[in-house]
Amino acid sequence: MIFFPPAKINLGLRVLFKRSDGYHEIDSCMLPIPLVDVLEIIPSTHFSFQQTGLTIPGINSDNLCVKAYELMRDAYSLPPVYIHLRKEIPMGAGLGGGSADAAYVLRALNSLFDLKCTSAELEEKAAQLGSDCPFFIKDIPQIAKGRGEVLSPCNVSLKGYYLKIVNPGIHVGTKEAYDGIVLCPDAPSVQSIVEGPIENWKDQLVNDFEFSVFAQHPILADVKSTLYNEGAVYASMSGSGSTMFGIYKHEPSLTFQDDSTYLEKIIHIS
């Protein structure tokens, strides 16, 4: 079986307060986008995991795909499988690629072995792997609260718009992003903003990580300014960085194609 785990972007990301369990309470809208990894899972005589494409740091046993298989294996006494992950979504980029891969392993195993797990059951399993993982159990825009695992539908669509994704090859770790974060306990509801006119987003829709991450990586602020200067109706950093994106009514041009360190893609949302 072959699956295509998608990236996501965050439309707004407010960090409200630090919880007693050590996590931060957030409010964000997550939107899946057609930038994908490739995941193949087939039955095998012994378990093995192969990864190609972009290089993932660390050892295979620490990969979230492996952990996702082990979680389901232990819960449902699953037989061995062969997993091949072709990595196309950059890491440490705020696009949720690793979380998507893990969630899609859960989905794939559910289908391959006809486990009949509900979406709610898969989301509960995914939450054990990472805060963003439950979002990728469903392929729809959702409001994410709690530490990211409390999800609800959101009436937002970018259909007909163009999305430009720009990643300048910088890896931003979660701890690095939280250094210097300013908590905003009284921030307006993200859902109320994204379900309103997109023309208002520039002045109302905020990613709180931009303040701390831009201070450490000023090039990201420059990219955001460039996106607005060339006509984006809204531009932002996704998640905790380092990917920047712009939303356009008309097809934009590639801007950074002469720099090999940049990943730049233009996607028409259909």
CA distance 227 to 185: 29
Amino acid 270: pLDDT: 86
State yes or no: pLDDT of 158 exceeds 80: yes
Residue with tokens 């960085």, as numbered in its chain: 241
- 258 confidence band (pLDDT: 50, 70, 90): confident
Nearest-10 Cα torsion for 238, 241, 246, 251: -100
State yes or no: pLDDT of 179 exceeds 90: no
Q: Taking a C-beta distance cutoff of 8 angstroms, is the pair 267, 252 a contact?
A: no
Across 81-105, average pLDDT: 95
Which sequence positions are flagged as catalytic?
A: 8, 132
Query: What stretches of 8-161 show up as alpha helix (H) in DSSP?
Result: 64-76, 97-112, 119-127
Is CATH 1.10.3720.10 correct for 2-153? no
Domain limits, the chain: 2-153, 162-268
State yes or no: pLDDT of 113 exceeds 80: yes
Choose the weakest-confidence range: 94-108, 116-130, 163-177. Answer: 163-177
More confident residue, 223 or 241: 223
- 183 confidence band (pLDDT: 50, 70, 90): very high
CA distance 48 to 27: 37
Q: Is the dihedral of CA 171, 176, 181, 187 positive or negative?
A: positive
Task: Say which DSSP state 159 is in.
Answer: T
Q: Is the dihedral of CA 186, 187, 190, 196 positive or negative?
A: positive
The string of DSSP letters for 181-247 reads: ----TTPPPHHHHHTS-GGGHHHH--BTHHHHHHHH-HHHHHHHHHHHHTT-SEEEE-TTSS-EEEE
Amino acid 41: pLDDT: 98
pLDDT digits (tens, 9 = 90+) for 2-26: 999 999 999 999 999 999 998 899 9
Question: Mapping DSSP to helix (H, G, I), strand (E, B) and coil, where does residue 150 land?
Answer: strand
Q: What is the mean pLDDT of the chain?
A: 94
Which of the following CATH numbers is that of domain 162-268: 3.30.870.10, 3.30.70.890, 3.40.605.10, 2.30.180.10? 3.30.70.890
Across 96-113, average pLDDT: 97
State yes or no: pLDDT of 240 exceeds 90: no
Backbone angles phi, psi at 34, to 5 degrees: -80, 60
pLDDT digits (tens, 9 = 90+) for 190-213: 999 999 999 999 999 999 999 989
CA distance 151 to 127: 11
Amino acid 22: pLDDT: 87
